Amino acid sequence: MIYADNAATTKMSEASLKTMIDLMEDTYGNPSSLYTFGQKAKEVLEKARADVAGAIGAQPQEILFTSGGSEADNQAIITAAKLGAAKGKKHIISTAFEHHAVLHTLNKLKKEGYEITLLDVHENGIVLPEQVEEAIREDTALVTVMYVNNEIGTIQPIREIGAVCRKHGVLFHTDAVQAVGHIRVNVEDDNIDMLSASGHKFHGPKGTGFLYAKKGIRLVNLIEGGAQEKGRRAGTENVPGIAAMATALTEAVANLDAYKAKLTPVRDKIIAGLNEIPHSAINGDEVRRVPGNVNFCFEGIEGESLLLLLDDKGIAASSGSACTSGSLDPSHVLLAIGRVHDVAHGSLRLSIGEDITDEDADYIIKSVKEVVEYLRGFSPVWRDLVAGKGQFIL
C-alpha cells in the first residue's frame, strides 16, 4: 500500500504518538486547576506553546490553540472583519483558490454586508503581490492569501504580499496549513499578521491546530465559556493533543532540509514520468511547489474512476480536494487556474510523504499510465477526440 494523500491528512509520527499516549496516561489534570496535578498539565501546555511559537518565529503569547486549521481560519477572518467594521472598513481581499474554510467564511461575511474581492490566480497557480496591491482600497480591512495551495501545492510569494499589506496598513492573514512543517515559515520575515496551521497536516493528531496573531491584535472569541486561552477560546484545553502537535512540529521543522532533499527528486521523477502520458499536463508551477505535491490533468478521463482503480492497485491518492470529492463539481482550484470543466474532471493529486521509495515512484508512474490508458479505452470523450470530433486541449 502506498499512501500518497498526505495533503488530506498525515500519519502521526512515532514521537508525536508517544507524547500523546504518555500524557493521556499520566498528565490528565485540568490546566486551570491550582493543585500540582493541574499545574503539571499547565506546564506541558505552555511548553507546547513556546515550542510552536519557536517553530514559526513567533512569541508564545501570540499562539492560540484551536481545533484545527478550519477554526483558525474562521477566527482570523472574523477578527479582522470585526476590527475593520469598527473603523468603517468592510472590504476583504482573498483569492479564488483558497480552502473552503476561508471561502465559506468570506461568503458568510458577504451576506452580512462585507464586500469581498477574490483575486484571479495565474495559470501557474501563483498570486502576484501586484494583484494584491491593485485591489487594496481605503476601506480594505484584510488580505487573506494561502501560503501553499492544498491541491496543486504552489507556494505563494507571501513575504512580498505581506510587505504590500504592511505598506498600506492592511491586516494580512495566511492559511499556512499546507506550508507549516513542509517549508520554512517565519512570521516576522514573511510580514504575516495572522497565520493558521493544523496538526494533522504535519504528522500530529487530528483536531489540533493553532492561530498565530501578532501582538496587539485582539482576537474575537468564537466560543463562549471559561477563560481558557486568555479568554480567546473557551473549553478545557486538549493538552495531550496540543503537546503531540508541538512534538510533531518541532520534529518536522528540524527535519525540513532533509525532507526537501529526499522528496524533491522523487516528486520530479513522478512528474517526468506522468508527463510522458499523451494529452496530460501538470497543474501549477513545476518548481514553485512544495516538495511532496504532484498534480496532473489527463484529458478524456474521470478523476474519480482513476482514483478507484489506483486504489485497487494499492495507491491512495486524491482528485480535487477531500471536501469536494463525492460531488460532481470539478475542483474550484483547477477552475481558478483556468482549466476548463472537462479537463478539470480528469485530475489527480499525489501528495507523497517521507516514507516514499524510488520503487514506489516507479510503481506509481507505471500504475497511472496503465489506468489512464485503460480508462481512455472506453471513454466516449476520448474516442471523439481521437476521431477528430472536438479539439484536444492538453
Ligand X SMILES: *Cc1c(COP(=O)(O)O)cnc(C)c1O
* Residues acting as catalytic residues: 323
125 binds ligand X (CB under 6 A): no
Handedness of CA 130, 132, 134, 138 (dihedral sign): negative
CA distances from 328 to 27, 304, 316 (A): 46, 10, 20
Residue in 248, 295, 254, 241 with CA at minimum distance from that of residue 44? 241
Give backbone dihedrals phi and psi of 106, rounded to 5 degrees, phi first: -65, -35
DSSP 156: P
> How far, in Å, CA of 18 to CA of 12, rounded?
10
> Least separation, in Å, of the C-beta of 332 and ligand X?
13
Interface residue with ligand X, options 31, 69, 240, 330 (CB under 6 A): 69
Do residues 93 and 222 lie in contact, with contact meaning Cβ atoms separated by under 8 Å? Answer: no
Give backbone dihedrals phi and psi of 296, rounded to 5 degrees, phi first: -130, 155
Handedness of CA 218, 221, 227, 233 (dihedral sign): negative
151 binds ligand X (CB under 6 A): no
353 binds ligand X (CB under 6 A): no
> How far, in Å, CA of 280 to CA of 159, rounded?
32
Interface residue with ligand X, options 201, 279, 332, 345 (CB under 6 A): 201
238 binds ligand X (CB under 6 A): no
> How far, in Å, CA of 393 to CA of 382, rounded?
12
330 binds ligand X (CB under 6 A): no
> Least separation, in Å, of the C-beta of 386 and ligand X?
37
Interface residue with ligand X, options 23, 101, 290, 297 (CB under 6 A): 101
C-alpha cell at 183: 517549508
250 binds ligand X (CB under 6 A): no
146 binds ligand X (CB under 6 A): yes
198 binds ligand X (CB under 6 A): yes
320 binds ligand X (CB under 6 A): no
241 binds ligand X (CB under 6 A): no
Do residues 71 and 222 lie in contact, with contact meaning Cβ atoms separated by under 8 Å? Answer: yes
> Least separation, in Å, of the C-beta of 149 and ligand X?
7
For residues 89 and 173, which CB has a smaller minimum distance to ligand X in the complex? Answer: 173
5 binds ligand X (CB under 6 A): no
Interface residue with ligand X, options 31, 204, 209, 330 (CB under 6 A): 209
Candidate segments 47-55, 114-122, 172-180, 255-263, binder of ligand X by CB under 6 A = 172-180
Q: Binding residues for ligand X, per CB under 6 A? A: 68-70, 73, 99, 101, 146, 150, 175, 177-178, 198, 200-201, 209
